[in-house]
Structure 1
Amino acid sequence: MNTQALGVEYYLAGMRAALDDLPPNEVAEIMEDVEAHVAELSTELGENETLEQRLGSPEQYAQELRQAAGYPPRTERLPVTTKKQLVTRPRVAAWGLAIATAVTLLAGTAVLRQSAILLLPAVLLVLSLALVHDRGPAQQEIMDLPETRKIQQWLTPEEGTPGERALTYLKSLQPAWWLVRAGLLGLGAVLLASRDILGFLFIAGIAVLSVFAGPRAKVDRRWLWFSLPASALAVGLLFQVIDVTANNLAYSPSRQVYQPPAMQSYENVYAYDENGKLLTNVLLYDQDGNPINAPRQYYGCHGDDPQPMIPANRYPRPKIDYENGTCYTVAPSVVAPSSTESTPPSSSGSAPSSSVAPTSVSPSK
């Protein structure tokens, strides 16, 4: 806060102290008309000129306003001996604003899934603002709270320090943030448009009003009850959009792990010699000497008779007839090419003329 602003706040605080014998709503009515005038007059002061030189002391100016408004002369208040109240309207309103802003930030991260969640912070904001709306644009009672003054001290670093330069730079970005905030809120409204028309209208209205509320809150602090939660809602929406986008990228089909095609499995293998003769009882092994096994296991041919299993790498696989207890080899339905043929064999729906007759085989041990 610069020296000029501090001078205005000090002068207005002196005026309120001179009017504190009047009812709070009447003080707010007087100060509401004066604050803008004093702030504007402060910008017209010369380099070494003060508000006191233009308007007189705060007490004198307050007395003039009192007489002009037809109020009686000031009466001194009796000393207050009672203990100062901890729970006051300004304190409840200030904490209501802080809590509602935090709740709005959390609600913003879930508003695209359930927009009705915004009703909770909205109720808190309306109730807290109703407590102090009649105290005028400056909301000086809230600004005089100890917790508020601590925040002001934290946000007012010493001149020339890196913190002061950083804060000055951030303040210069406020107009840009107001536009970004409206854009984020507008994006949230668009995402809700197809499935929640009430949520769309509600957030779209907040987006439009937030453009006006940003600069207005600098001269009328009652707009903070809208501007701060609107900023929290925009940040919450940003977090949710980032989360949804990251999830969509993580599960995008173009980024999934490549799945190689499944290897084709075979139930039987038929081996022929160079003359096209079907070979039987052929044992197959890979390059490491491991059996190349068929996917199915073949047991004995006599039902429950405990005969040894036929080796899973013996081809062709015999067909097992459990009714008569025999095992026999079935010829393939495709004629094998001879060593002199250059064209692939043609398939036929019937058994080939040179098919191999069924051969009885015994289970191998």
Structure 2
Amino acid sequence: MSSTTPPAVRAYLARVRTALADLPAGEVEEIIEDVRPHLVQIGADLGDGAAIEPLVQRLGSPEDYAAELRAAGGYPPAPPAPQATEDVARPSVLGARFAAWTLLVVTVGAGIAAYVWGLERFPDGLAVVLVLTPFFLASVWYVARFGTDSVFSLPEVRNLRSALPGTEDGVPGRIRGYLRALKPAWWLVCAVVPVVLGLLAFGSRGGWLLVPLLAVVGALALWAGPRSRTDRRWLWYILPVSAVAAGGLLGLTGSVLDRVVGPQHYSDPYPAGAWTSNGTPVLRYGGEQLENVYVFDAEGKPLTDVYLYAEDGSPITLPRYACEPGTGAERKTGEDNRFPRPRLEHGAYDDAGVRNGYNGHIPECRELEGVPFTAAIPKQPG
């Protein structure tokens, strides 16, 4: 469009651009493109000359016009130029790099912590947070004292910004406008997610203290989010909070999916193995607890001293019980994987050894050997 812009307007806009040079380059370009048609129209009315004096008489100096544009757009006033005789503290490259990398580490760490928090209902890694807090506060002090120009002028920061969508000057205006239209909704997300994370931790020890704290964090995100566009120092707050919102959303989504879908449990129609009942291993088959296992050879002859193993080679070890002599009580004698085990029978017996119920007799416990049934082994063909 510069080929159709009168020379006086181009010179006027050049000084306006210089007066706005402290603002982000992409936003300065948007401001210039917004006011250019108006200035071109005024320049056409005043005559297509090379002098900018008619524009100055009509609009004021480019610097005053730039100040009006700042006020209309909600931008901060231009920083005063330091006096040559003053001892002005200057930012250092080391301090700027410290502030930039500290912000990156804290932002990534906040996102990971929020993801774990949303997934597992309470955050871990408090010691890491306590260690990083002094460094983060030092980086906040740096940008509050020296501003963000030295940070954004670092080569690694410039490369990162150029790689991110919406920050490069060459990004089409339609995309920039769409991303900016989403920002108010995102600030709302940044306000809500921390409160939700706090409510999830409410039942934990000391969790109730997090709810009002995170409510303040969320409310400040609503206030600081829009201001981070004009005052880049607020990025040291809004970026970690945005990471918390993003990580928390992912964690909460994963937690919800885990509860809705859940791990798939498939029931084996013939389950067999050593289960645990009140801390004691038991053997189950078809949902019923087994007291013993009997093994036969191909001729139907019962086998003794058979040892059972699982498919991974581990023994199927179960408690072994025996009768306590003289008391009629049953006692545990150890654990092993040897089968079959003696059958324990409880009751009262007469002098002939016939079981007749209790009938005033002392209950006794007997160990019975042998197999209580006969097995018919099917013949294998051929």
TM-score (norm 2): 0.47
Instruction: State which structure, 1 or 2, has the greater radius of gyration over its C-alpha atoms.
Output: 1
- Larger strand proportion of the pair: 2
